[in-house]
Amino acid sequence: MKTTYLGLELRSPVVVGSSPYTTDAEHIARCVRHGAGAVVLRSIFEEQIVRQAAALSCQSPDAGMGDAGEYLERYLGDEYLAGHLRVIAAARETGVPVIASINCMTGSAAWADYAAAMEQAGASALELNIFLQPTDRHAAGAELEKTYVDTVARVTKAVGIPVAVKLPQRLTNPLAVADALVGRGARGVVLFNRFFEPDIDIERLAFAVGSPYSHPSELRNVLRSVALCATAVPQLDIAVSTGVHDGEAAVKALLCGARAVQICTAVHRFGYAVIGEIDRFIDAWAERHGFASLDAFSGRMDYGHTADDTYQRTQYMKYYREFCGDDVPALG
Ligand SMILES: Cc1cc2nc3c(=O)[nH]c(=O)nc-3n(C[C@H](O)[C@H](O)[C@H](O)COP(=O)(O)O)c2cc1C
């Protein structure tokens, strides 16, 4: 089933999200062979360059000399970026749109530099993976959100290709942020970025490695935001990320207003064949319901199409008899 996302024509709304499954030309070729509509490349992380440079500069006899650290950062950064640019150029040969992904540090000029280089290498679009973990009790939410939109404005000024922003789920009002992004030139949002959460081993009193993979139930946290955002900010194309493991989940996301679904854990669980399976499920479902194209059903269950208060209701009132009388749902 064809779709348009960020102004790009995709042969399928099933996109493989930024992950190890899009890490190099060989993995990307597998995504394409199995019918992916587009691929989002693994992010370039500025933080990785800075940490690596700091580690190397500690080992060097010149440790502590500021210039050496800066030189290492520049050198490692150039090498690292060059590797990403080679992957973009190779992926471009596959014929499906290639969305490059950037994760830089706050206030860094590298966002715009990397974006321009990625456009030059042949990226069809960019996805900005922005998140600031609040650790400063004096930094208000609005201040952090301003940093997001300022970063996006810098990048959209630097490139001509469409830019999507992968937003964190922990925003007070994602709609306000999405609206501000439109004004800064963004074409889409990815809802949502899923974070690597630390875990604790209570016997060893040590940090443990939690699983990076999602559970299908996580989709429900995303659907409401998609339905609200599709109605409130229709200028942005939405891609759903987090919890799309099968065709049914993909259809739900599209009904809420998404133009594409990004999958990552599903590829981990079921292999690359899941890409084609989800796409075929969408086709069969649409045919069964008499929808000839994605436009015929995309957003059919977004906030604007919903007569009742389903998307507004967040409390469990309907489970109490004093509010609903005998209509209380059975709890099983
Ligand atoms: C091992 C692993 C690596 C990932 N690397 C990136 C990355 O480089 N950049 C990024 O934006 N998201 C990254 N993600 C997040 C995924 O793109 C995606 O947003 C998340 O896994 C939720 O989607 P899912 O439910 O389909 O897994 C990664 C996820 C996993 C599991």
Q: Where are the domains of the chain?
A: 3-307
- What number does the ligand 1 atom closest to the CA of 166 have? 11
Q: At which residue do the structure tokens 């500021």 appear? A: 66
Q: Is 194 in the pocket of ligand 1 (CB under 6 A)?
A: yes
Residue 29: per-residue pLDDT = 97
DSSP secondary structure letters along 222-285: HHHHHHHHHHH-TTSEEEEESS--SHHHHHHHHHTT-SEEEESHHHHHH-THHHHHHHHHHHHH
151 lines ligand 1 (CB under 6 A): no
Q: Does residue 22 line the site of ligand 1, with CB under 6 A?
A: no
Per-residue CA distances from 62 to 53, 104, 241 (Å)? 13, 27, 44
Which atom of ligand 1 lies at the shortest distance from residue 218's CA?
25
Top pLDDT among 56 and 235 is at: 235
Closest CA to 40 of 83, 76, 80, 5: 5
Question: Which of the pair, 107 or 247, is modelled with greater confidence?
Answer: 247
* Closest CA to ligand 1's atom 28: 19
- How much is the pLDDT for 64? 53
The residues that bridge with 168 in the sheet, in sequence order, are 193
Three-class SS state of 147: helix
Q: Is the model's pTM score more than 0.85?
A: yes
Written as six digits, the tokens of 129 are 């993976």
CA of 18 to the centre of ligand 1 (A): 5
H or E stretch covering 190: strand 188-193
**pLDDT band with cut points at 50, 70 and 90 for residue 206:** very high
**Whole-number pLDDT of residue 72:** 62
Q: What is the pLDDT of residue 52?
A: 66
Residue 5 backbone phi and psi in degrees, to 5: -140, 125
Average pLDDT value for the chain: 90
Please tell me the predicted confidence (pLDDT) of residue 69. Answer: 63
Question: CA 312 → CA 167, 169, 175, 308, 319, distances in Å?
Answer: 21, 17, 14, 9, 16
- From the alpha carbon of 213, which atom of ligand 1 is closest? 31
Distance 84 CA to ligand 1 centre (A): 17
How do residues 123-134 score in pLDDT, each as one tens digit?
999 999 988 888
Domain 3-307 belongs in CATH node 3.20.20.70: yes
Specify the pLDDT at position 223. Answer: 97
Q: Which of these, 213, 189, 165, lies nearest to 20 by C-alpha position? A: 213
User: What is the per-residue pLDDT across 34-90, written as a single tens digit (0 to 9) for each?
Assistant: 999 999 999 998 777 666 666 666 665 555 555 666 666 666 678 888 999 999 999
Q: Which of 109-113, 225-229, 276-280, 324-328 has the lowest mean pLDDT?
A: 324-328
